[in-house]
Amino acid sequence: MIILESFVFATVLIGFFGIVFKRNLMMKIISMDVMSTGVIAFYVFVASRSGLFTPILSEREGVAYADPVPQAVILTAIVIGFSIQALMLIAVMKLARNNPTLETDEIERSQTP
């Protein structure tokens, strides 16, 4: 379990450092997606517990059921993350029409009067 927690935390950190240190806009978008995946994996890791069953109709008595709310929250986070990523990619495509590069330093230099 500790190894899994370490990998999830490393995924979040890799995404964060990619956002901070990468200069290419596409790499920043990919880093944000990696960080989002790590956060979702951490949430699933925290919410998962052994011995729980899905909340469906059954004949069993006295069984611990899994809470469906975290599943709904995770699905919502995935959909919102996908839509934000699509909007960022569209913004980068529009920016790429006017600039020959996607490096943030060069874009800032060309936009400065």
Domains contained in the chain, CATH given:
2-101 (1.10.287.3510)
Sorting pLDDT into bands at 50, 70 and 90, what band is 112?
A: confident
Q: Which residue has the higher pLDDT, 8 or 44?
A: 8
Length of the chain: 113
Beta bridge partners of 62: none
| Per-residue pLDDT at 97 | 87
Write the CB contacts of 26 (distance below 8 Å, at least 6 apart in sequence): 92, 102
Give the model's pLDDT for residue 77.
92
Q: State the pLDDT at residue 70.
A: 81
Pure H helices in the chain? 2-21, 25-47, 69-98, 104-111
Give the type of residue at 84: I
pLDDT above 70 (res 51): no
Q: Would you state the pLDDT for residue 13?
A: 96
pLDDT range class, residue 110, cuts 50, 70, 90? confident
pLDDT tens, 60-98? 777 777 777 888 889 999 999 999 999 999 999 998 888
Its pTM stands at 0.79
Q: What is the mean pLDDT of the chain?
A: 86
